[in-house]
Structure 1
Amino acid sequence: MKRIETYKHIAIIQTAFLGDVALSLYLTQKIRNIHPNSEITFVTTPSGSPLVACSTAVDNVITYDKRGLQTGLRGIKFISSLLKDKKVDCIISPHKSLRSTLLTFITKPEFSVSFYRSALSVVYSKRIKYFEHQHEIERNISLMNAFSDYTVSDIPTVELEFDEDDISYIDYKLYGTGIREDEKIVLVAPGSIWKTKRWGELYYARLCNLLKDLKCKVILIGSKDDWELCSGISVNSGAFNWAGETSIPKTLVLMKKSSLTITNDSSPTHFAGLVGCPVITIFGPTSPKFGFAPRGEKSKVIELHNLKCKPCTIHGSHTCPIKTHDCMIHINPKTVFEQALELLNL
């Protein structure tokens, strides 16, 4: 095996969901810590690019619009040409898709590594075993076992840097909302692209009311697509609806100023982890054993354990396979509230 220090320019490919991108930043930080003189390029999606740009470990971000302008083989060849122009000599791909494998194959770096379970994994110079019940952060970092100068060590803290404009935006918005610096802010992110992973709107509203009774300032966050959902919760609870009003970097800044984030099994779980914000994650059809639980001492997982139908999927779906959605409707708002009390020290 070669040392990672052999390679001057390393590219990381991760074009999956936002949560996957967030969890790949620990691998990126590990590479930077071990090989501080390397140049690191990160290939990701249009939605993932602003997140990756916050990482001080990344030198270059290549935005790969795989479902838009750069779809198909032509898109793969275009991104490959960018990597070749940068003289990338090593590719590390935590993403297991065929598209990522083809991108690696066409780029032809001196060395490449991914998982045995990756599509057409024989393309890679080195393959690493994928442990299904290992945490995703550790799975990604396990790709470093392809290099002789890697030794197992603690999970690194991801170093992030934010634009002053993003910091000022959040400060001004909090001030304009009447939220003081000494008040506890609780963020609630109720959205998910998979409908079965969403806890009920009225349940979230009830939870927000309980939190407001403690004099917490509750802010609903999410993308523009979550605005209608958050609006319904806001109407029934009086929580502030900021859905669609904060970019990912701004959301991270807001999380740094918050006392707690409450969310479904979705990307805000991992955003909170990046900045050290305590988090409660509600798991319905999925399970933390797949490797996507929140990390850190100040995190809680809430799920039901007595359902034969759970977990039914690794990602979630748009409808419950047995039409009951028992995994979510039987999680009581008071249960979540009690866990919140512990993390808020109230």
Structure 2
Amino acid sequence: MRILVILPNWLGDAVMATPAIELLATYYENVHFTFLGSFVSIEALKYHPKCEKAIVDDTKKAPSRLFATYLLAKELGQFDLAVSFRDNIYSSLLLRLTQTVFCCARRSWHAQLLLSHTPKIQTSQHLVKQYAQIAMIDSNVKEYKVPALKLYIQAIKFAKPTLGINAGATYGSAKRWYPERFAQVASYFSDKYNIIIFGGPNEVEMAKEIEDNLKQLKVTNYTNLAGRTTISELCANIAGCSLFITNDSGPMHVAAAYQVPTVAIFGPTRYKETSQWKNEKSKIVRHEMECSPCMKRECPLKHHECMTTITALEVIEAIKSLNI
């Protein structure tokens, strides 16, 4: 069975879509996936053993996105089933233009107009469950267990227990705890763990701040990988960690996919919808605020108290409570 899957754009969302993909692979026979998505999501998910093709969607860059979508649909051809995890008119149009009969996506005006199956999804539940409901809408299965996150990139094996730090969050500064506090936490555990600082190309400066703070704290057993890894290398390194400290971010979900013990720091986002899914060793550190969750990229009130009030000691105690 040939299934087209349009992946979410963001790394974390793509990883949260993996249980839905596993359900599709389980409940349909002889599955062959074609994945279509952003460069980031394709790089993370293209290693699935049932992935036949993995295509980066560059239609947004075309002079005419409409015409580029038409050409891409004709190149893809027809499938037995097509599923979109994006709420985007061009994604709905693409599925329609492939002439696939059974097409599933979250209900929206364009999906209802163009596609065969458009379930109304309750957005207050975890995003993993939302994606699973979209994927399973055309199956005859009424009850199913949503599995854990799953990535197929091989984990690196470190010689010594390793603590990963991820201070970045692509969505915006409001989701980011502070470099000096990450460094304080890492310093506390530096006798037990080697330290890896993670970050994307736009987070190199922030990672350098952590590094500078570690030097001031006389910590030397660290490696700064910010801006120096591919997506697959990022996943492999996170997978090899013994402990992970992170903001609400894509790497947080990568850690969950490998069951890495994790303390996640949440500020302005809806933790019940985007927390680590089925990670047995996971803790959230957050403060309930009148203004949260605001879901803003930057603090609209300019005080950022959802993050400023979280101390390094709180995170250290959360790590201790993991009993690892």
Normalization by structure 2: what TM-score? 0.90
Offset from partner CA, 1:22-72 (integer Å, 9 cap, x none): 111211111111124022111111122110112223222111024435862
1:99 to 84, 90, 99: 90
**Code of the aligned partner of 1:154:** K
Q: Which segment drifts farther, 237-246 or 222-231?
A: 237-246
Counterpart contact for 1:204–1:233, Cα < 8 Å: yes
Q: 2:5 maps to what in 1?
A: 12
Separation in 2, partners of 1:12, 1:321: 36
What is the aligned partner in structure 2 of residue 343 from structure 1? Answer: 322
Taking the TM superposition and a 5 Å limit, the aligned residue runs for 1:137-156 are: 137-156=128-147
Q: CA separation of 1:91/1:246 partners in 2, compared to 1, >3 Å: closer, same or farther?
A: same
Map 1:293-304; keep pairs closer than 5 Å.
Answer: 293-295=275-277, 296-304=279-287
Cα 1:123–1:187 change in 2 (3 A) is: same
CA deviation vs aligned residue, 1:202-236 (integer Å, no higher than 9, x gap): 22122221221x42111111212211110110111
Contact 2:45 2:152 (C-alpha < 8 Å) held by counterparts: no
- C-alpha deviations, 1:134-158, integer Å up to 9, x for none? 1111111112442243242222345
Q: How many residues align?
A: 316
Determine which of 291, 298, 308 is the counterpart of 1:309.
Answer: 291
Deviates more, 1:116-125 or 1:334-343: 116-125
1:55-74 alignment, distance < 5 Å: 55-69=48-62, 72-74=65-67
Checking the alignment, whether the CA contact within 8 Å between 1:97 and 1:118 is kept in structure 2 is no
Q: Which residue of 2 aligns with 1:136?
A: 127
Counterpart of 1:272, as a letter, is A
Task: Determine whether 1:51 maps to 2:44.
Answer: yes
CA distances 1:53-107 after superposition (whole Å, capped 9, x unpaired): 12223222111024435862133123212221xx323211121112211212222
Report the CA distance between 1:126 and its aligned residue.
1.2
Given residue 72 of structure 2, which amino acid in structure 1 is its aligned partner?
I
* Alignment partner, residue 177 of structure 1: none
Q: 1:57, 1:159 within 8 Å by CA — same for their partners in 2?
A: no
Residue 79 of structure 2 corresponds to 88
Check conservation: 1:117, 1:130, Cα contact below 8 A: no
Q: After superposition, give the CA deviation of every residue in 1:294-345 in whole Å (9 maximum; x if it has no partner).
A: 122211111111x1111111xx41x311111111100011111111122252
Letter in structure 2 aligned against 1:95: R
For the residue of structure 2 that corresponds to 1:92, the secondary structure is: strand
Is the 8 Å Cα contact of residues 96 and 119 (structure 1) preserved in structure 2?
no
2:302 to 294, 302, 323: 323
Q: Is 25-34 or 246-255 further displaced after alignment?
A: 246-255
Where 1:254 maps in the other structure, the secondary structure is helix
- 1:256 is displaced (CA, Å) by 2.6
Opposite residue 277 of structure 1, the aligned amino acid is V
Unaligned segments of structure 1, at least 5 residues: 1-7, 175-180
Aligned counterpart, 1:26: 19
Q: Does 1:273 align with 2:256?
A: yes
Rounded to whole Å, the distance in 2 between the matches of 1:20 and 1:162 is 17
Partner residue of 1:5? none
What TM-score, normalized by structure 1, do the two folds share?
0.85
Cα contact 1:55–1:159 (8 A) shared by 2: no
Change (3 A) 1:57 1:158: farther
Q: CA RMSD in A?
A: 2.1
After TM superposition, the structure 1 stretch with the greater mean CA deviation from structure 2, 57-66 or 269-278, is: 57-66
Identity %: 24
Q: Would you say 1:221 and 2:198 are equivalent positions?
A: yes
1:269 maps to a residue whose letter is M
Cα distance in 1 for residues equivalent to 2:51 and 2:109: 24
What one-letter code is carried by the residue in structure 2 that aligns with 1:293? S
Q: What is the CA–CA distance in structure 2 between the aligned matches of 1:255 and 1:96, rounded to whole Å?
A: 29
